[in-house]
C-alpha cells in the first residue's frame, strides 16, 4: 500500500508538471510521464522526439558516496547523449530499499541502488556476498566486483527476475563498533550483537559466539544508548554520519563482510533501447563507479575522525584472529553454498582466486 501511494503521488506530480508546460527534470521533479508509465518504450520516444526519462531511486543521503555515483551517472549520460533525461530520488523518497527494487523490477522506475541484503529477497544468488571472511582485502574486493566472468554469472541471475546489473559498487568492509573492547576473536563470546534481518549475518555472529538481536537501523542509536545491544557492524562512514560513535567508544576492524552496493535497471526497459543507447548507459555506469572515492582510504579517514573527535579506541584483528573467524564460520560458508547456484558460486571463487 505504501508503495502504491508513493507511486500515485509521483504520477500526480508528473501530470501537474506536464500540464503546466514543464520541461527538463531535476532532483525536485516527479517521476513518470503524464500517463503514469515511467518506462516509456524507446520506439515511442524516438518517434515523438522526446527524451527518454530515467527515474533513479535510492535510500541514501545526498552526501553518501554511493548516491554520488548516481549523480555522476546522470551527469555523464546527459553530457554524452541527447536521448536521456535523468531524475534522482534519494533518501527513500520512493519507498524502502525493497519497495524501490520492486519498482525497478516492475518498471515503475528504471533504476535503483541498494545493498545486497534486500536483493536476496528477489535474487537468492545475491547471498554470495554473505560468505564471511571470503575477501581478504580492499584491492581484492575491487577486483572481484569488476571480474567479467563473475559479473556475467550474477547478472544472469538478476536477469531471470527482470533486473539488469548496471555496476556493482564497493563501500569497503563492515567493521565493528562496540560499547566494550573487542581485541580478539575470543572477545565475541556472549557479546549482544545488533544484526539486520539477514539469516546469514545472524548465523555468522552466532558462529563467532555472539548473542544476536535484530534492531532496525533507525532505532540503533537508542538501542546502543540504552544498552539493549553491545555492538553493531557497519562501515565507519555510516557510523560517523549517524553519530553512532557517541555510543560506541571502541572500534575494531575485523574484515568479515564487505559492503557492496548494487545498481540495477529494469531489464525490459534496457532491452528496448537501441544498441548505441545500451552502450552509453553501460559506459555511464562504468564511469560513475570510477568516480567513487577510494573506500578504503575514506574508511581510514572516518576512523581517524572518530579517534580525534570522540576519543574512540581502535583495534585491528590479526591474521590469526581472521583465520580463527574463518574456521568458526565454515558452517555459514556451507549454508551460502547451498543457497546460491553452482554457476555463481564457482564464478565467485574463481574471481577471488584471480584477485589473490
CA gyration radius, the chain? 21
Task: Provide the pLDDT for residue 172.
Answer: 81
Backbone angles phi, psi at 203, to 5 degrees: -70, -30
Q: Which stretches of the chain drop beneath a pLDDT of 50?
A: 1-47
pLDDT tens digit sequence for 229-287? 999 999 998 899 889 999 999 999 999 998 899 999 999 999 999 999 999 999 999 99
* 55 contacts 109 by C-beta, under 8 angstroms: yes
Please, which residues bridge with residue 111 across strands? 56, 265
Enter the pTM of the model. Answer: 0.81
Task: Provide the pLDDT for residue 354.
Answer: 97
Task: Provide the pLDDT for residue 238.
Answer: 85
Task: Provide the pLDDT for residue 197.
Answer: 86
pLDDT tens digit sequence for 74-95? 999 999 999 999 999 999 999 9
**Nine-digit cell at 118?**
534486500
Hey, how many other C-beta atoms are within 10 angstroms of the C-beta on 150?
24
**Nine-digit cell at 250?**
571502541
Could you tell me the end-to-end alpha-carbon distance of the chain, in angstroms, rounded to an integer?
47
Extents of the domains making up the chain: 2-122+161-173+258-296
Please, which residues bridge with residue 214 across strands? 195
**Nine-digit cell at 168?**
556493482
Task: Provide the pLDDT for residue 26.
Answer: 33
Task: Classify burial at 28, counting beta carbons within 10 Å of its beta carbon; exposed 0-12, middle 13-18, buried 19 or more.
Answer: exposed
3-state secondary structure (DSSP) of residue 169:
strand
Task: Provide the pLDDT for residue 34.
Answer: 32
| Helical packing angle, 148-159 and 138-146, nearest 10° | 60
Q: How many angstroms separate the CA atoms of 14 and 305, rounded?
A: 42
Superfamily of domain 2-122+161-173+258-296: Bacterial extracellular solute-binding protein, family 7 (3.40.190.170)
Under DSSP, the state recorded for 102 is: H
**Nine-digit cell at 154?**
550474477
Candidates 96, 94, 134, 72; CA nearest to 260 is 134
Amino acid at each position: 500500500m505504501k508503495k502504491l501511494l508513493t507511486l500515485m503521488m509521483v504520477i500526480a506530480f508528473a501530470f501537474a508538471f506536464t500540464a503546466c508546460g514543464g520541461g527538463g527534470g531535476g532532483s525536485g521533479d516527479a517521476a513518470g510521464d503524464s500517463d503514469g508509465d515511467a518506462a516509456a518504450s524507446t520506439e515511442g520516444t524516438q518517434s515523438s522526439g522526446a527524451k527518454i526519462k530515467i527515474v533513479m531511486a535510492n535510500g541514501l543521503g545526498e552526501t553518501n558516496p554511493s548516491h554520488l555515483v548516481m549523480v555522476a551517472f546522470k551527469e555523464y549520460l546527459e553530457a554524452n547523449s541527447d536521448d536521456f533525461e535523468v531524475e534522482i530520488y534519494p533518501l527513500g523518497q520512493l519507498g524502502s530499499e525493497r519497495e524501490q527494487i520492486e519498482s525497478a523490477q516492475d518498471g515503475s522506475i528504471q533504476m535503483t541502488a541498494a545493498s545486497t541484503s534486500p536483493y536476496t529477497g528477489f535474487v537468492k544468488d545475491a547471498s554470495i556476498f554473505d560468505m564471511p571472511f571470503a575477501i581478504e582485502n580492499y584491492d581484492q574486493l575491487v577486483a572481484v566486483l569488476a571480474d567479467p566472468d563473475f559479473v556475467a554469472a550474477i547478472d544472469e541471475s538478476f536477469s531471470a527476475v527482470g533486473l539488469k546489473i548496471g555496476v556493482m559498487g564497493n563501500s569497503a568492509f563492515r567493521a565493528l563498533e562496540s560499547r566494550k573492547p573487542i581485541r580478539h576473536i575470543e572477545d565475541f563470546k556472549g557479546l549482544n550483537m545488533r544484526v539486520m534481518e539477514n539469516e546469514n549475518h545472524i548465523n555468522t555472529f552466532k558462529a563467532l559466539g555472539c548473542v544476536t538481536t535484530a534492531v532496525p537501523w533507525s532505532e540503533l542509536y537508542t538501542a546502543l544508548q540504552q544498552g539493549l545491544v553491545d555492538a553493531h557492524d557497519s562501515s565507519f562512514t555510516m557510523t560517523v554520519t549517524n553519530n553512532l560513535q557517541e555510543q560506541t567508544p571502541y572500534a575494531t576492524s575485523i574484515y568479515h563482510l564487505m559492503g557492496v552496493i548494487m545498481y540495477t535497471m529494469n531489464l525490459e526497459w534496457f532491452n528496448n533501447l537501441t544498441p548505441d543507447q545500451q552502450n552509453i548507459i553501460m559506459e555511464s555506469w562504468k564511469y560513475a563507479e570510477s568516480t567513487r572515492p577510494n573506500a578504503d582510504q575514506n574508511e581510514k579517514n572516518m576512523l581517524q575522525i572518530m579517534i580525534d573527535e570522540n576519543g574512540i579506541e581502535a583495534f585491528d584483528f590479526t591474521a590469526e584472529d581472521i583465520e580463527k573467524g574463518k574456521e568458526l564460520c565454515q558452517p555459514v560458508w556451507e549454508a551460502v553454498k547451498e543457497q546460491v547456484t553452482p554457476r555463481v558460486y564457482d564464478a565467485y571463487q574463481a574471481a577471488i582466486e584471480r584477485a589473490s
